[in-house]
Amino acid sequence: MRFIDSHAHLADPAFDDDRDAVVSRAREVGAAAVVSIGESIAAADRAALIASSYHGFVFHTAGVHPHDAGQFDAARDIDAIRRHREFGAVAVGECGLDYHYDHSPREVQREVFAHLPRVTAYSIVQPGRMAAELERVRQQGYAQTSEEMSLGACSVAVPVFGPDARVVAAVGIVVPSLKRDKNRLVAALQVAARGIGRTVSG
């Protein structure tokens, strides 16, 4: 099986001692690419460096985690995110709204989110739309995107449940269009997610 690890915190100092080994293991188990998340500008700078040393296999993102929304500085951080996008960042993130931990006040999170650069005409940067989208994900049991990051790229993703029915991961697929195939893709992903869930639980 070939897959992309779309969310790895490879820039975390926790990997400073064995990052090479982690990347090698990812290649061995079939990863076609790993996306190293820049959950802060500092992390994005580190992630960009790591991406350049595993060129063509590791890619990076730049964003501001909603937990850290309190330290957000629009003039400084938005420029930095744009620069990262120009120099190869494949996504804006971490970003969003985190109403589970509420490490930063919700109104501050909404304010930061509303400042984030729009990548396509479909990028969701309106806090109200994002909250509605999250609610829909919860109701439907799967997430979907439609050209928010790249035109001609849509995706669906479903949760992977581990022990105690806790969500431990997600698995998704990117396709040119979801129009006809969405239900079929969601069903196939749910089968895959159950298989992965059994493996990680066992």
Handedness of CA 60, 13, 80, 8 (dihedral sign): positive
Contacts of 19 (CB under 8 A, 6+ apart): 10, 50
Judged by CB under 5 A, the chain residues 35 through 74 that form the site for Zn ion are 37
Q: Closest-CB residue for Zn ion? A: 37
- Kindly state the smallest distance separating residue 130's Cβ from Zn ion, in Å: 17
- Kindly state the smallest distance separating residue 181's Cβ from Zn ion, in Å: 28
Q: Which is nearer to Zn ion, 9 or 85 (CB)?
A: 9
Q: Which is nearer to Zn ion, 98 or 181 (CB)?
A: 98
- Kindly state the smallest distance separating residue 65's Cβ from Zn ion, in Å: 7
Q: Which is nearer to Zn ion, 35 or 37 (CB)?
A: 37
Interaction pattern, residues 18-37, with Zn ion; x per rule: CB under 5 A: -------------------x
Q: Which spans in 58-161 are helix H? A: 74-86, 106-115, 127-140
- Going from the C-alpha of 184 to that of each of 79, 117, 178, 196, the distances in angstroms are 40, 33, 10, 18
Q: CA end-to-end span of the chain, whole Å?
A: 20
- Kindly state the smallest distance separating residue 9's Cβ from Zn ion, in Å: 6
- Kindly state the smallest distance separating residue 93's Cβ from Zn ion, in Å: 8
Sheet with 91-92: strands ordered across: 3-8, 31-36, 58-62, 91-92
**Residue 180 carries which side chain, given as an amino acid letter?**
R
Q: Which is nearer to Zn ion, 70 or 195 (CB)?
A: 70
- Contacts with Zn ion by CB under 5 A lie at 37
